[in-house]
Structure formats: structure tokens, C-alpha cells
Amino acid sequence: MTPAALTDLPLWPPLNLTRDPLVPLDAGERRRFAGPVTRVRLPTDATAWLVTRHADVRQLLRHPGFSADLTRPGFPLLRRLAPGALGDRRGGFIRMDGAEHARLRRMLTAEFMIKNVRRIEPLIRQTVDRTLDDLRDAGPPADLVTTFALPLPSMVICHLLGVPYADHDFFQERSRTLIDRDAPPERVRRHVQELRDYLQRLVEAKVAAGDRTDDLLSRLARDRVDTGELAVDELVGMAVLLLIAGHETTANMIGLSTLLLLRHPARYAALRDDPGNADALVEELLRYLTIVRTGLPRLATEDVEIGGRLIRAGEGVIAVLSTANRDPAVFDRPEEFDPYRAAQQQLAFGFGVHQCIGQPLARAELRIALVELARRFPRLRVTATAGRLPTRDSSVVYGLGALPVTW
């Protein structure tokens, strides 16, 4: 494709996703990317197909003819990477295909089953109470992101994995570099390695000590590494993935969800007065906000027709979850936030074999956090207008940089 023809294509992701942090794409941007399957230009000057409809996104994400392996030539990367920036990929099953992906994922499936998450709900409640106590004791005003939305899932995932929460500043800084599309390539490479080195030391200490502690990394060390089913560096890769995904996604959902509910005081009050509807509310929040706004990239490994368009082997594709979750063919009045909507078909966690393995934990944390926040802080309000709220536009996981509140 000539340089002139390339610049005629709309850039994905847009430089400014939206003026409103609660709206994934404004009306103007939606018109630019109109169509079930649209050719777009990426920041790397490569091209890809953008898939936007609910049915087409589901077809793409469950089809074996699309790869999640970003090391394949032609994979639609959203940023340029320095040589070796990804480091050792072993264990990072989210970017693997087929049997390699299935082998590692199966080792974690039981850990995140709904029944096991219900077993740890008392831990989540204790952690919520602790963080809300800290928020109350510090007094207003406060930044809800740094005092509640981020500490809560960080504490929970550290406890589950067996990672010292005292090191949270270290791994949070590196986590955010890894999911920041604008981070300098050399910093990405360095922070990947520093995070792996940190977790390598932690895992090796657990393996050497025959640690009997009942945390996830210790159990995997005993049950999988000691038996030869899992290599130490594979466990390190799994730990990197779980640590990043376990706090970044939920933290951003808590912040955005709180902003949305405080814009609708009656909805916020109803969460306190009718907590029995919290499960339905969480599904609608996931649908409406969809924090993985840049979409899920894939590479076609064979010719596949999606949405009436033939996508050829070697071409990049991006499944846009946010537009799929506002598809009028599936959701009535999709631009409206309706906490009583049946939104179970939402695709915020993806779909198919790579669907988020930790979604039961994320749902539980979000539900408990929002119900308790509404119960204990009924007069909570935001002290900044939407246009003045810092947003993480360059992050793969969208969210607020801060949420100033008082009560």
C-alpha cells in the first residue's frame, strides 16, 4: 500500500478516544469506523481489519484460524517494540495458541472457578473493609483511585499469589509501563525484565523452600514444578500475567464504575438499598464501560470470512469489544446505562478459548467493592468535572488517572 493510500485510512486507535471517560467512542469516531469490518491504519504504519459487530467479534475470537501469538510476522501490534522487549515469553499463555495455551491454562482453571472465588469472598470483604477504613480515617477530600480502586485488587491478588504487597509500588509501576502504548520501547524492555527477575527470585525461593503456604504460586510450585509438569520460568511467566491482569483491570473498572454511578445518584442509592441487584449491575457496568477499548488483536493463519469480508492468511484483525458491547442487534438502547438490563451477553472479558480466566474474581471484587462503598459512603460525590478528570488514554486497559471525591 502506498504512503498516500495508507494515510487515507482511519487511524486505530484514535488519538483521542473520547471526550467523555464513560463513552468508548463518541459519535464522530463511530462514523469514522462505521461498517462491520473496516480497514484501518495502526500506529506502526501497518494495516489491520477492524471487526465491530457482536456476532462477528464472537466468530473471530472462537475461530481457530486466528492466532493470539504476537511474535508471528504480521501480527497487528499497536506500538513499536525494541528487540527483545517481550523478554522470555514462556508461561504467558494469553499470547499462545493451541495445545501450548491449553496446557498452561488448564493448570489455573480450577483456581478461578466460581465456587473457589466464593470461598475467598470473606477475604475480599475484609480487604474492602480495610481500604474503606483507611479512606474514612484519611478524611475528605481524597483520590478514590489511589486510596481505594487500586489498593483493593492489588491487595487481593498479592494475597492469592503470595506476592508481598509491600512491593506494590515496584510492580505497579512496571505493570503500567507494560500496558502503556506510548511507553518508550527501551523502558518496556527494561521493566519486563525487572518484573520477571523479581518474580523469578520469589518463585525460586518458594520452590527451594518447599513452601507449604497456601497461596497460588506455592501450590503450583509444589503440584506442578516439583512433578516436572511446569518449568520454573513458565511459572514466572504465569505469575507476571496474573499479577498484571489481577489488579490493573479491576482497579480501572472500580474507578470508572464509581464515576458512572455518582453521575446517577439514584442508581448509586439503589446499589445501597437493593444490593440483591448487584450482580446484574456489574454485568451492565462491564458492558457499558468495556475498559479494553483498543480491542483484542489477532493474526489470520488461514483465509476466513468475517462479516462478509474475506480476511486472508497473514492479515491482522482487531476485535473491538466496546462496539460489540453496544451493538443494537444484541442490546436494546445500547447507549443507555440500565442497571436492570440483562447484559449477560457482554464481551468485556473476551470470548472463546482466550476468554479472561479471572473473570469470576473480577466480578466478585467489583460487586463487593461497589456495594460496600455505597453503603458506607452514601454522600460520596465527585469534585471535578468530567473534562478535568485525567484519563489513561494510551493504556491497553482504559481507566482514570485520578477520581477526586468528597463526602
Residue 337 is which amino acid?
F
**Residue 97 pLDDT > 90:** yes
pLDDT tens-digit map of 231-265: 999 999 999 999 999 889 999 999 999 999 999 99
CA atoms lying within 13 Å on the CB side of residue 14 = 16
Angle at 72 between CA 94 and CA 318, to 5 degrees: 65
Mean pLDDT of the chain: 92
Q: Residue 17: its pLDDT value, please?
A: 52
* pLDDT level of residue 8 (50, 70, 90 thresholds): confident
**Degrees (nearest 5) of the Cα angle 385, 388, 394?**
130
Phi, psi of 297 (to 5 degrees): -80, 145
Residue from 193, 130, 211 nearest 165 by CA? 130
Cα atoms in the 13 Å half-sphere on the side-chain side of 375: 14
Secondary structure tally for the chain: helices H, strands E: 16, 10
Q: What is the pTM of this model?
A: 0.95
Q: With residue 405 as reference, give the H or E element that holds it.
A: strand 404-406
Distance CA 237, CA 95 (A): 11
- Residue 16 confidence (pLDDT): 59
Q: Is the pLDDT of residue 82 over 90?
A: no
Q: Are 264 and 192 in contact (CB under 8 A)?
A: no
pLDDT at 4 over 90: no
DSSP states of 66-105: EE--TTSTT---SS---TTTT---TT-GGG--HHHHHHHH
Q: How are beta strands 316-319 and 381-382 bridged, if at all? A: unpaired
Alpha-carbon distance of 218 to 162, in angstroms, equals 7
* Rounded Cα distance, 197 and 209, in Å: 18
- The percentage of the chain sitting over the pLDDT mark of 70, rounded to a whole number, equals 95
181-207: average pLDDT: 91
Task: Please state, in angstroms and rounded to a whole number, the distance separating the CA atoms of residues 195 and 212.
Answer: 24
Residue 190, strand partner residues? none
| 63 in Cβ contact with 165 (< 8 Å) | no
